[in-house]
Amino acid sequence: MNDHQDGPDRRHRRPPGVDDITVEALGSLSKALEMTERARGHLYSFHQLTGGADLELDRAVRLLREAGHPEWAEKIEDEIVGRNVLPGYWTFQVVEAYNDTYYHPFQELERSAVRELAQGRDHLYEAEMKEARRTPGHPDHTACPPATET
């Protein structure tokens, strides 16, 4: 059992002096960052799907040539193969710009807020929600994973 009876481990317990609104605000900040993580994943999907489509065009161009349509093969090569998705940008550059301009600063700000306002203790809002919703003593409602209960 952990040192807090049947409750959360130390890193998921609210530090002294941290009020409810701060815990809620940090939970909201964390949720916003998680949504950004999902958006970033979609951006990587966009990157990979667009790159895969560009490479598949090579096959279409080859087949059009074989089928006797060289003018269409050339049109596709000239107009679409290797084309920027935004002015001056291929998808890898979109991903890099997003990471540098938005994602990394957001990630650093969230980490700094948790360090300064909650002594670096992550997911306090969720940990307190878990504690309020679980049934103490129930084998499937334990406060911590088995590895942290020693």
Total domains, the chain: 1
Which pair of structure tokens corresponds to residue 6?
A: 């049947």
Q: What is the pTM of this model?
A: 0.81
Please report whether residue 83 resides in a domain.
Answer: yes
In which domain, by residue range, is 84 found?
Answer: 37-127
Please report whether residue 82 resides in a domain.
Answer: yes
Q: Are 80 and 73 in contact (CB under 8 A)?
A: no
Please report whether residue 2 resides in a domain.
Answer: no
Please report whether residue 5 resides in a domain.
Answer: no
Please report whether residue 73 resides in a domain.
Answer: yes
Please report whether residue 105 resides in a domain.
Answer: yes
Please report whether residue 13 resides in a domain.
Answer: no
Distances (CA, A) of 129 to 23, 88, 125, 142: 11, 47, 6, 13
Please report whether residue 31 resides in a domain.
Answer: no
Going residue by residue through the chain (150 aa), what tens digit of pLDDT does each one get?
344 467 888 888 999 999 999 999 999 999 999 999 999 999 999 999 999 999 999 999 999 999 999 999 999 999 999 999 999 999 999 999 999 999 999 999 999 999 999 999 999 999 889 989 999 889 999 888 887 544
